[in-house]
Structure 1
Amino acid sequence: MERQLDHAAVRAAAERTAGVIRPVAVVPAAEGLWYALEHLQHTGSFKARGAHNFLAAHRAAGALPTAGVTIASGGNAGLACAWAARAQGVTATVFLPATAPRVKVERLRGYGADVRLVGERYAEALAACEEFAAASGALLSHAYDHPLIAAGAGTLLDEIRTALPRLDTVVVAVGGGGLFAGVATAARAHGIRVVAAEPEHCRALNAALEAGRPVDVPVRSVAADSLGATRVSADALEAARLGDVTSVLVPDEAITAARRALWEEHRIVVEAGAATALAAVRTAPRPPGREVAVVLCGANTDPGDL
């Protein structure tokens, strides 16, 4: 089973996901600025790429158990895991706190997941998930911290390059680092710059770069539902160290304004986490280069507050 995150792993993921994942649409926003519409992906976020790659790789290796897969996540990762498991013909057992919104529970069940509500905090749901995996033999998945998950996400970069052969810079939002790690790994192979955008008060990657190692950070942002990881993955930190990467922090006000602008100017509805990438472009000096792509990574949001 692949444990290393490199461009070869991203290319292997592209082979596994071909014909299953929706290729990203890339559209012009302004001169030299493009939007990568990954929010149109299956399940409404880029997470479908990594989830499918993770399960397909385990099946190919004969390591996908009949007990299926399990994950603790009521968000985009849980939805993607349930979707990918259904495609592989196995059960996804998804653990989340009993306080999770009913709409999330129903969406998970709609994908065929066995939903287990445990405790009132994510940590309790995670502990129950790990116990279930150990007792049942189900494959334990993770929202972002696994090379196969990150490699699947990294397939996005080569698709953007196909659409934009002169691509210089890609801007991505960072939470736990799965999308960033995969995209930055692929970008490094092509000499492409990466701007890593984080909310000011959800700065797991930025703090890790300062400390020289992953560290726990407080989480407080309008984008915390998707970018609120308390610690970035080691793969993400390594990708940031090795590549041409700029870390940018943006205030919540800029994220909210960017999300609203996408709706008002383009009728694009995204979650606050996705708008964080655009907020970095709108508030900081524009990244250098002829062609800059902003990844709009997810749309699992309530549009009522736009």
Structure 2
Amino acid sequence: MTDHAPAAPSYDDVRAAAGRIAGRVRPVAVVPAGEGLWFALEQLQHTGSFKARGARNFIAAHRETGTLPAAGVTIASGGNAGLACAWAARGEGVPATVFLPESAPRVKVDKLRSYGADVRLAGTEYAEALAACEEFGAGSGALVSHAYDHPLIAAGAGTLLDEIRDRLPELDTVVVSAGGGGLFTGVAVAALAHGVRVLVVEPENCRALNAGLTAGHPVDVPVRSIAADALGARRASWAAVRTAARPGVTSLLVPDAAIAEARRALWEEHRLVVEHAAATAYAGLAGRPGEYGKQVAVVLCGANTDPSDLAV
């Protein structure tokens, strides 16, 4: 690990996060979906994704330690992380400044503003928005958050696992999708602490974690997938790569066609509307949950999607 790479959270960090966010996020619902299979319905979380957990933990932890500035928080993200950060900041009564590329969809800009965020458009791609965000943080004193590469963000996401185990004490395997690796890292840390196996699933052409695992360190990858809006990190975090190398973790790649089919199946067979990132996890089972144990839970991580193409 490099000197400046954030470390993975410990299980104690996940437990501390659970205490901070208790009563501030929705406990996950776990429902049966077939023989040996359960769905963890995190798409029903505040802001429509699991990101609310990490954002709440990040801001609450800084308030707890007296390091939450009056200038509030800032983040570069046009997706779920930006929405979660703005929502969590509003809940803690601090300002949120969110940087997006100029090409960001109007619907996301409007949603962010509905949470009270100061939305600023900068550049034509995420990297330029991120640079503007970091410059703003340095000049204003605002606390710079990250979409996934921070132990407090990952620990917050990891609180999902114990909630699932409360409902499924004999859980064998948890299935999650991965982009930059925040959700995977937190969930895996908690799962491995209880001897629960982890299946982490990525699109074939959006494989930052799998590529980093193969190389032994984070590497840049091309991003070309129908799930790239949520899983489109060009490189996974060091914490995710190191966690993926631990015994009990299996990395799996799936084609876009399988992701699209899984998303349709979730709607047609279960009447669940999810984004392609959530369907990626389900696609990893390929209809064979029994291969991974008697109790398998799939985390449906988000529902910020246009459902118009799901009509039957």
TM-score using structure 1 length: 0.98
Question: What secondary structure, in the 3-state scheme, does the structure 2 residue paired with 1:152 have?
Answer: helix
Q: 1:173–1:274: 8 Å Cα contact kept in structure 2?
A: yes
Q: Is 1:62 aligned to residue 88 of structure 2? A: no
Matched pairs, number: 305
Q: Of 242, 257, 262, which aligns to 1:258? A: 262
Deviation above 4 Å: which 4+ runs of structure 1? 283-286
Q: Is 1:79 aligned to residue 83 of structure 2? A: yes
Q: How far does the alpha carbon of each residue in 1:174-231 deviate from its partner, in whole angstroms, 9 at most, with x for none?
A: 0000000000000110000000000000111110111011111100000000001000
Q: 1:3–1:148: 8 Å Cα contact kept in structure 2?
A: no
Q: Which runs of 5 or more residues in structure 1 are unaligned?
A: none
How far 1:241 sits from its partner (Å)?
1.6
Separation in 2, partners of 1:167, 1:284: 16
Q: 1:37–1:297: 8 Å Cα contact kept in structure 2?
A: yes
Separation in 1, partners of 2:134, 2:71: 14
Q: Of 198, 221, 226, which aligns to 2:230? A: 226
Separation in 2, partners of 1:199, 1:3: 25
Percent identity (aligned): 73
Question: What secondary structure, in the 3-state scheme, does the structure 2 residue paired with 1:28 have?
Answer: strand
Question: What secondary structure, in the 3-state scheme, does the structure 2 residue paired with 1:254 have?
Answer: helix
Amino acid of the residue matched to residue 15 of structure 2?
R
Q: Of 10, 25, 29, which aligns to 1:21? A: 25
Q: Which residue of the partner structure matches residue 148 of structure 1?
A: 152
Q: Which residue of the partner structure matches residue 108 of structure 1?
A: 112
Amino acid of the residue matched to residue 37 of structure 1?
L
Change beyond 3 A, Cα 1:45–1:181: same
Q: Which residue of the partner structure matches residue 243 of structure 2?
A: 239
How far 1:243 sits from its partner (Å)?
4.1
Q: Is 1:174 aligned to residue 178 of structure 2? A: yes
Q: Which residue of the partner structure matches residue 195 of structure 1?
A: 199
Q: Which residue of the partner structure matches residue 42 of structure 2?
A: 38
Separation in 1, partners of 2:279, 2:130: 28
Q: 1:185–1:243: 8 Å Cα contact kept in structure 2?
A: no
Two-structure CA RMSD over aligned residues (Å):
1.2
Q: Which residue of the partner structure matches residue 213 of structure 2?
A: 209
How far 1:242 sits from its partner (Å)?
2.2
Separation in 1, partners of 2:70, 2:292: 50
Q: 1:169–1:287: 8 Å Cα contact kept in structure 2?
A: no
Separation in 1, partners of 2:9, 2:219: 21
Q: Which residue of the partner structure matches residue 248 of structure 1?
A: 252
Separation in 1, partners of 2:142, 2:291: 44
Q: Which residue of the partner structure matches residue 129 of structure 2?
A: 125
Amino acid of the residue matched to residue 66 of structure 1?
A
Separation in 2, partners of 1:288, 1:108: 39
Amino acid of the residue matched to residue 215 of structure 1?
V
Q: 2:8–2:185: 8 Å Cα contact kept in structure 1?
A: no
Q: Which residue of the partner structure matches residue 52 of structure 1?
A: 56
Separation in 2, partners of 1:121, 1:210: 28
Equivalent residues in 2 for 1:268-279, closer than 5 Å: 268-279=272-283
Question: What secondary structure, in the 3-state scheme, does the structure 2 residue paired with 1:167 have?
Answer: coil
Question: What secondary structure, in the 3-state scheme, does the structure 2 residue paired with 1:268 have?
Answer: coil
TM-score using structure 2 length: 0.96
Change beyond 3 A, Cα 1:285–1:30: closer
How far 1:286 sits from its partner (Å)?
4.7
Amino acid of the residue matched to residue 27 of structure 1?
V
Question: What secondary structure, in the 3-state scheme, does the structure 1 residue paired with 2:152 have?
Answer: helix
Question: What secondary structure, in the 3-state scheme, does the structure 2 residue paired with 1:282 have?
Answer: coil
Amino acid of the residue matched to residue 297 of structure 2?
A
How far 1:287 sits from its partner (Å)?
3.6
Q: Which runs of 5 or more residues in structure 2 are unaligned?
A: 1-5
Change beyond 3 A, Cα 1:229–1:252: same
